[in-house]
């Protein structure tokens, strides 16, 4: 089983970026925890981060043919703006969980709408780095439906 974890814009700055909102854990530390969990669980893990919308679209499209079974995605701000990322996820028909470190519902109004949530199997928000681990555990147990 192959699981892809995608991170969007500014998530490369985790640890430095607004630590009161996003905490002190870096993306490298999150990825290391996910890699350990994947190994324990006997699944293959790929991780990818980009600040560029089109690169994220390209990586999502590549998942269609590279054996990816499940996606965990934190699209960052593109969550709230990107019809293109929504369309890419809809096109490839691979189940995904949407993750946000912060509880977007107790933040600004513009973060309350997601272009991805109604396509997602589920959404994790507000659990910090543990949200990725919860999503990965879920991904290990659940296959993409047809």
Please state, in angstroms and rounded to a whole number, the distance separating the CA atoms of residues 99 and 17: 17
Considering only residues 84 to 103 of the shown chain, the ones binding ligand DQA according to CB under 6 A are 100-102
Cβ(8)–Cβ(76) under 8 Å?
Answer: yes
Identify whether 22 is a catalytic site residue: yes
Instruction: Identify any residues that bridge with 74 across adjacent strands, giving them in sequence order.
Output: 7
| Nearest distance from C-beta of residue 42 to ligand DQA, angstroms | 28
| Distance between CA atoms of residues 93 and 146, nearest Å | 8
Binding mask 10-49 for ligand DQA (x = CB under 6 A): x---------------------------------------
Which CB sits closer to ligand DQA, 70 or 78? 78
Instruction: Determine which one of 22, 78, 115, 132 is catalytic.
Output: 22
CA distance 56 to 78: 10
**100 belongs to the catalytic site:** yes
Which residues, 6 or more positions from 90, have their beta carbon under 8 angstroms from its beta carbon? 119
Q: How far is the CB of 143 from ligand DQA (least distance, A)?
A: 26
- What phi and psi values does residue 2 have, to the nearest 5 degrees? -115, 125
Report how far residue 7's alpha carbon sits from residue 78's, in angstroms, rounded to the nearest whole number.
10
The residue from 87, 111, 117, 130 that contacts ligand DQA (CB under 6 A) is 111
Residue 111 is assigned to a ligand binding site: yes
Residue whose pair of structure tokens reads 């290391």 in the numeric block: 32
- Binding residue numbers for substrate: 74, 80, 87, 101-102, 111
Active site amino acids? 22, 100
Q: Which residues bind ligand DQA (CB under 6 A)?
A: 10, 74, 76-77, 79, 100-102, 104, 111
């Amino acid at each position: 089983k192959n699981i892809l974890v995608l991170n969007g814009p500014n998530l490369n700055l985790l640890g430095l970026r607004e630590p009161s909102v996003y905490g002190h854990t870096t993306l490298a530390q999150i990825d290391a925890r996910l890699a350990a969990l994947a190994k324990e669980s006997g699944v293959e893990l790929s991780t990818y981060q980009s600040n560029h919308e089109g690169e994220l679209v390209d990586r999502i499209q590549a998942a269609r043919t590279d054996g990816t079974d499940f996606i965990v995605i934190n699209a960052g701000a593109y969550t709230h703006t990107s019809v293109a990322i929504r369309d890419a996820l809809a096109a490839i028909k691979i189940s995904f969980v949407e993750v946000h470190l912060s509880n977007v519902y107790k933040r600004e109004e513009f973060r309350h709408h997601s272009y991805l949530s109604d396509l997602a199997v589920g959404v994790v928000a507000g659990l910090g780095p543990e949200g990725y681990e919860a999503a990965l555990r879920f991904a290990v147990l659940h296959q993409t439906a047809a």
